[in-house]
A and B are shown apart, each in its own frame.
With several copies, the nearest count.
Chain A
Amino acid sequence: MAKITASVYTSHVPAIGAAIDLGKTQEPYWQPLFAGYDFSKEWEKAQKPDVVFLVFNDHATAFSLDMIPTFAIGTAAEYQPADEGWGPRPVPAVHGHPALAAHIAQSVIQDDFDLTIVNKMDVDHGLTVPLSLMFGQPPQSDYRWPCKVIPFAVNVVQYPVPSGNRCFQLGKAIRKAIESFDEDLNVQIWGTGGMSHQLQGPRAGLINKDWDNRFLDRLIAEPAELAKVPHIEYVREAGSEGIELVMWLIARGAMADVAGGPAPKVVYRFFHVPASNTAVGHLILENQPA
Chain B
Amino acid sequence: MSLDKPYLDVPGTIIFDAEQSRKGYWLNQFCMSLMKAENRERFKADERAYLDEWAMTEEQKQAVLARDLNWCMRTGGNIYFLAKIGATDGKSFQQMAGSMTGMTEEEYRNMMVGGGRSPEGNRFLGEDGDAQPQHQPQGKAGHKTTGSN
Q: Is the CB of B116 within 8 A of A274?
A: yes
Q: Is the CB of A182 within 8 A of B131?
A: no
Distance in angstroms from B84 CB to nearest chain A CB is: 5
Residues of B76-90 whose CB lies within 8 A of A: 78-81, 83-84, 86-88
CB of B113 within 8 Å of the partner chain: yes
Q: Is the CB of B18 within 8 A of A211?
A: no
Interface-located stretch among B9-17, B45-53, B57-65: B9-17
Residue of A nearest to B95 (CB): A276
A237 CB contact (under 8 Å) in B6, B16, B123, B135? B123
A200-B87 contact in complex given A59-B80, A274-B113, C-beta closer than 8 Å: no
Q: How far is the CA of A116 from the CA of B83 in the complex (A)?
A: 23
B contact residues vs A (CB 8 Å cutoff)? 1-3, 6-7, 10-19, 21-22, 25, 28-29, 31-32, 34-37, 40, 69-70, 73, 78-81, 83-84, 86-88, 92-94, 96-98, 100-102, 108, 111-113, 115-119, 122-124, 131-133, 135-138
A contact residues vs B (CB 8 Å cutoff)? 14-15, 18, 29, 59-61, 64-66, 75, 82-87, 98-99, 102-103, 105-107, 110, 117, 119, 157-160, 180-182, 196, 198-209, 211, 230-232, 235-237, 240-241, 273-274, 276-277, 279
Enumerate 29 A-B pairs (CB-CB under 8 Å) in ascending A order: A14-B93, A60-B28, A60-B84, A61-B35, A64-B29, A65-B29, A65-B32, A85-B40, A102-B18, A106-B3, A106-B17, A158-B18, A159-B15, A198-B117, A200-B79, A202-B131, A203-B13, A203-B131, A204-B100, A204-B101, A205-B111, A206-B117, A206-B122, A231-B7, A235-B7, A236-B124, A274-B116, A276-B93, A277-B94
